[in-house]
Chains A and B, each alone.
Chain A
Amino acid sequence: MLTEHGRAQLQTQMKAHSPRLYEELQVLRSDGEVTGPIDDIPPERMREMYRWMVLMRGFDKKCVTWQRQGRIGTYAPFEGQEAAQVGSALALSNSDWMFPTYRDHAAAMVHGQTMANVLLYWMGRMEGCVSPPGVRVLPPCVPIATHLLHAVGLAFAMTLRGERAVAIAYFGDGATSEGDFHEALNFAGVFRLPVIFLCQNNGYAISVPFSRQSASRTIAQRAVAYDIPGVRVDGNDVFAVHRAVTQARERAVAGLGPTLIEAVTFRYGAHTTADDPTRYRDQRRLSEEWRTQRDPIARLRLYLERRDLWSAREEEAWQAEAAALVEEAMQEAMAAGAADPLAMFQHVYADEPWHLAKQRREMLESRGGASA
C-alpha cells in the first residue's frame, strides 16, 4: 500500500515532469477590446477580414439550408470557426500551398478556391476538387490527418528546389490522435521543413470530446516532443490567429522549420448535416454560450465600429452583397449541367488502359449510346 507520504512524493515527481501549459494567446477580446497594440494588421486588412468572415458565414448557413432543400448533399458546416480559417488564410502568400479538410472551405475560398467549386464538391461532383489555375489549394482531405504528410512532402519539395514558401495543413483535434499526425510533425521537425500545422481544436471529433481524445491538456504542448514551436491561440480571435500564422510563416521561410498552432474554437452546428449534436452534448447551451460570449464576427464588428472602420450602413450593404455572391455561386454551379457518368473513366491514369476503355464502352452501351 502506498502511504500518504509516498503518494505526495509521486505527485511532486509528476509535477516536475509535467509539460508546461501553453497560455491561450488573445489579441481581440470577446468584448471587442484589444489586449495590446496591433501594429501588424492595417485597418484595411481588418475590414477585409470582417467582410470575408461575414461572407463565409452567409455561405455556410445557406449551404445548410440548401442541404435541407436537397439542392446539395451532406454538408460539413464550419460556422463558429470563421476567425480561425479566415485569419490564417489571409496570413498566407499566393505562393503557399494549402491542404484543407472537408470543413475548411472557408480557408480554401480565401486562398482562391471558388465558391462554385466548393458547391460542386458538396453536390457530389469531383469537379469540385479542382482549383482555379495558379491557386495552390489541394482538394479537401476526407481521411483524418493523412494530408499533413502531403504538406510535409510539398514543403520538402520547395526546400529542395529553393522556393521560399510554406505549406499549411488544416486539421481538427481528432486528427491529433492519428499516427499520421505524429509522423508528419516528426518528419517536418527532422528535416526542418516550412510547414504550418494549423489545428482547429473545436472540442469535438463528431461526438468525442477532447478530454477523451487525449490526456494532453493542450494540443500545442505536443510540439515539445518534436522540438518545434507550439502556439495556442484563441481561435475565435482573428487577430491572434493571423499573428500566429504570420509569425510561423516568417520562421518557416527563414529556414527555421515548422510550427504547430492550436486555435481553440467551437463549431456551432453539427459535424455534418447528417449528424445530431444533441445526442452527445448540451448543444443548445454550448452553442448559445459560444455565440453570445465568444463569437468571432461579433467581436470584430464591435472593434471596427468603435474605431469608425465599419458602419451600420456598410453592414447592410455588405450583407446584401454577400448574399448575392452566394446566390451567384449557386447559379454558376448549376450551370455545370448534369454530371456525366462517363467522366468517371477519365483521369484514372494519364492514359486510358484497355480495361477501362472496355468498361467505358460497356457503360455507354448500357445507357443506349453507340459504341465509341
Chain B
Amino acid sequence: MSRALHLVQAVREALDLKLADDERVVLLGEDIGVNGSVFRATDGLIAKYGEHRVIDTPLAESGIIGTAIGLALGGLIPVVEIQFLAFIFPGLEQLFSHAARMRHRTRGQFGVPMVIRAPYGAGIRGPELHSESVEALFAHTPGLKVVVPGDPHDAKGLLISAIEDPDPVVFLEPTRIYRAFREAVPEGLYRVPIGKAKVVREGEDLSVITWGAMVRTALRAAQRMEQERGWRCEVVDLRTLHPVDRDAILASVQKTGRALVVHEAHRTAGLGAEIVSLINEEALLYLQAPIRRIAGYDVPVPMFAVEDDYLPTEERICRGIEETMQF
C-alpha cells in the first residue's frame, strides 16, 4: 500500500519506522521533541518513543554532533537534526576531524554510524543564513557520504538506507520541496541504495545532471524544451553526491553526447566542476559540446527579496540547454 505524502512526511515516516525497528536509533537535535522540529519532521515522535529516544538538546551544534559521535562509539545509531544547514558550521570540526576519520584512524576498530539531517537550500523565503547549499564541503571530506533526496519516495528510502549505513551520512533535505508536492510513498520499510542515481526523465539529446530541489526545475525545463524545440533531454537525479554514481553519469552522457550540470550551490568549486571533470576524464570522445554549469552565483546567498534571481531558474536552464544543443 502506498499513500501520497509530502517529502517532509516521508522523512518523518522513515524516522518513525527506524525508531520502531531498531532500539539503537536515537534522535538528537534542537526543538525536535514536543515541538516536533521546526519543519515538523519529528512531529509526534517524542510522544511515541519518549525523551530518551527523541532527545531535545541544548542549543549547541558542536555539542550535538560531538555527543552523537560518542553515542555511536557507545553502540547507538544517532540521527541528528541540524535545524538549518548553515547552522552546522560550529559542528564542522566534530564532523570533519572526528566523525569522518574515526574508522580510518582506528583501522576499522571504531566506526561512527550516524546521520546528520539538515534542511537546506533556498526558495522558501527564509531569513538570512537559512538558505545555503554547502554540500560540496561534505563531499570534499573523505569518510562522509552525502545524500540529497529529490522526491518523497527517495527521501524515505534513502533516509532508511542512511540510518542503516555503517558510516556517517550527511542527509540534506531540500526545504523548497518539503511540501511542494505529494507523491505515492509505500508503507513500511524499504531502501533506496546510497550511491545510485536515478533517471527521472529519459531522453536522447542531452543529459541534465542535478539533485535536490533543482530536479523539479530541471524537469520543467526539459518538458519545455521538448515542446518548444523537440529536444529530448534526460534528467538524472544524482541522489547521492558522494560517492557519486559514476556509471549512471557516464551511461547517460555516452547516450546523449551532451550534458548540463545544474546545482543551486555556488558555481566555483561546486560539485558541478567535479562532475564535468569526471565526464572529461572518462567520456570525452562522446561529447559533441562543452559541458555547461547552471549554478548559484558566486555571491553570498542573498536575502529572500531576490533569492529567486539567485537560484537557477527554468529560464536559465533552458538557455543552457539551447547553448549546448546549438554549439
Contact = CB atoms under 8 A, between A and B. Distances in A.
B103 A187 contact: no
Given A157-B76, A348-B103, A354 B246 contact: yes
A154 B69 CA distance: 8
B73 A153 contact: yes
Most buried by A among B63, B71, B111: B63
A355 B70 CA distance: 29
B107 A187 contact: no
Given A157-B75, A160-B26, A349 B145 contact: yes
A293 to B, nearest CB: 39
Given A153-B73, A161-B74, A353-B243, A187 B108 contact: no
A130 B109 contact: yes
A154 B74 contact: yes
A155 B58 contact: no
Interface string B159-182: 000000011000000000000000
Contacts of B78: 153
A309 interface: no
A353 B193 CA distance: 13
Contact of B62 (A179, A190, A349): A179
A347 B104 contact: yes
Contacts of B72: 153
Contact of A156 (B71, B145, B243): B71
B66 A346 contact: no
B229 interface: no
B230 interface: no
B70 A131 contact: no
A143 interface: yes
A327 interface: no
A149 B107 contact: no
B58 A156 contact: no
A133 to B, nearest CB: 9
A131 B66 contact: no
Contacts of A346: 104, 107-108
A279 to B, nearest CB: 28
A350 B103 contact: yes
Contacts of A126: 104-105, 107
Contact of B66 (A97, A153, A155, A160): A153
A158 interface: yes
Most buried by A among B68, B71, B90: B71
A186 B68 CA distance: 15
Contacts of A304: none
A179 B97 CA distance: 16
B69 A153 contact: yes
A348 B107 contact: no
A322 to B, nearest CB: 28
Most buried by A among B57, B73, B108, B246: B73
Q: How large is the interface on A (under 10, 10 to 19, 20 to 34, 35 or more residues)?
A: 35 or more
Nearest to A126: B105
A129 B66 CA distance: 19
A183 interface: yes
Nearest to A157: B74
A355 B167 CA distance: 16
A184 B110 CA distance: 21
Given A129-B106, A353-B195, A354-B246, A143 B73 contact: no
Contacts of A153: 66-74, 78
A76 interface: no
Contacts of A146: 62, 66, 93-94, 97-98
A139 interface: yes
A158 B74 CA distance: 7
B60 interface: yes
A165 to B, nearest CB: 10
B93 to A, nearest CB: 6
B60 A187 contact: yes
Given A146-B97, A348-B143, A349-B145, A138 B110 contact: yes
A24 interface: no
Given A187-B60, A349-B167, A150 B73 contact: yes
A139 B105 contact: yes
Contacts of B3: none
B142 interface: yes
Nearest to B57: A187
Nearest to A125: B107
A105 to B, nearest CB: 15
B74 A156 contact: yes
Interface in B48-70: 52, 57-58, 60, 62-63, 65-70
A347 B69 contact: no
Contact of B70 (A127, A157, A183, A347): A157
A167 interface: yes
A149 B106 CA distance: 18
B62 A183 contact: yes
Contacts of B108: 346-347, 350
Interface in A32-71: none
Nearest to A150: B70
A126 B195 CA distance: 28
A190 B58 contact: yes
B70 A156 contact: yes
A155 B75 CA distance: 11
B178 to A, nearest CB: 29
Nearest to A351: B166
Interface string B85-109: 0000010011001100001111111
A130 B105 CA distance: 8
Contact of B105 (A129, A151, A167, A184): A129
Nearest to B246: A354
A349 B93 contact: no
A139 B94 CA distance: 15
A146 B107 CA distance: 21
Given A131-B109, A190-B58, A348-B143, 6 more contacts: A130-B107, A153-B73, A154-B71, A157-B76, A179-B62, A346-B104
13 contacts: A97-B74, A129-B107, A143-B98, A152-B67, A153-B70, A156-B71, A156-B74, A179-B62, A184-B66, A187-B63, A346-B104, A347-B103, A347-B104
